[in-house]
Amino acid sequence: MSTKIKVVIPCDEANHVCDKTQYKDATLWEKIKLNIHLIYCRACRKYTKNNTKLTKEIKKSKVECLDKKCKESMKKDLDHAISEYSN
Amino acid sequence: MPNHQINPNKWVDLYSDYLFNYTITRVSDREVAQDLVQDTFLAGLKSMKNFKGEASERTWLISILKRKIIDHYRKINSKKGKAEVRITYNDDAETEGDWLEERVADPYDKTAEDTLQNAELGDAIHNCLGKLPEKQAEVFKMKTIQGFETEVICNELNITASNLWVIIHRARTAMVDCLKENWF
């Protein structure tokens, strides 16, 4: 069985591939399998649609995050100030 | 009457991204935004006694931040030199292409409405991120917004790859559910 190429994948695997696709981590073969799955699975189609939309919206909104280093230095400053005030 | 607690030790973890994002859509300069957020935390600490617990911590911090942003604009505009429009025809070839035409607003550029919509969308996304469990939010932010590779995140947080994907999956499902109410 293991040597046979698997074309049909279960839903949880399809969702996993879909998540990976959002970050461009999926291989071509995985994507093909996902698309074959999507032909007949309505629930996963919906999930994929929503997931893709989420990625698009986040990209569009250009939300930004502070990087770790900056947060740490902020924390340090704040901690310093806290200890000063409590004294 | 619901009484909200105040705990400055967790401010950076809980609110710094939200506040930063709020600021960056309004001042559009990373350095300035960072400083303003930092100022806000320190000012919040100073006036902690005035926190009555009527609003949530985050709302309270945002109200301080708004003041800080206004102050920032007051400060840069009070410098008279910045207020006047100077058109210099550069002599040096270093800044080639510094033509007057480039200073005119580009009609195909983003309209104000688009920018506003994106700012609102950003707020909505951060609202939803705030509702996620801390771990999920952290992984999701690192992967989606900061765009780190899977291995980097795994090493940093000491989790396995499959663990990461489960967290990502849960976070994405929760995010979709949360954003659905507003945007989908």
A85 or B74, greater pLDDT: B74
End position of a domain, from candidates B41, B66, B83? B83
- Whether B89 maps to a domain, the answer reads no
**Per-residue pLDDT at B183:** 62
End position of a domain, from candidates B83, B99, B131? B83
- Whether B126 maps to a domain, the answer reads yes
3-class SS letters over B36-94: HHHHHHHHHHHCHHHCCCCCCHHHHHHHHHHHHHHHHHHHHHHCHHHHCCCCCCCCCHH
Spatial separation of the C-alpha atoms in residues B135 and B147, rounded to whole Å: 17
> In chain B, how many domains are there?
2
CA atoms within 13 A on the CB side of B135: 12
- Domain check: are B4 and B70 in the same one? yes
**Res B50 pLDDT > 80:** no
Q: List pLDDT tens digits, range B127-184.
A: 788 888 888 888 888 888 777 888 888 888 888 888 888 998 999 988 888 888 766 5
Residue that has been written with the tokens 């705990």 in this structure = B7
Q: List pLDDT tens digits, range B78-112.
A: 765 565 555 555 555 555 555 555 555 555 555 66
Partners of B174 on chain A (C-beta within 8 Å) are none
Lowest mean pLDDT, pick from A3-7, A47-51, A54-58, B171-175: A3-7
Q: Do B172 and A79 touch (CB under 8 A)?
A: no
Rounded to a whole number, what is the distance in Å from the CA of A1 to chain B's nearest CA? 24
- Whether B98 maps to a domain, the answer reads no
- Whether B94 maps to a domain, the answer reads no
- Domain check: are B19 and B71 in the same one? yes
Q: Do A74 and B37 touch (CB under 8 A)?
A: yes
Q: Do A55 and B141 touch (CB under 8 A)?
A: no
Share of chain A above pLDDT 90, in %: 21
The one-letter code for the residue type at A79 is D
- Which CATH number do you get for residue B45? 1.10.1740.10
Q: List pLDDT tens digits, range B35-47.
A: 888 888 888 888 8
**Res A42 pLDDT > 80:** yes
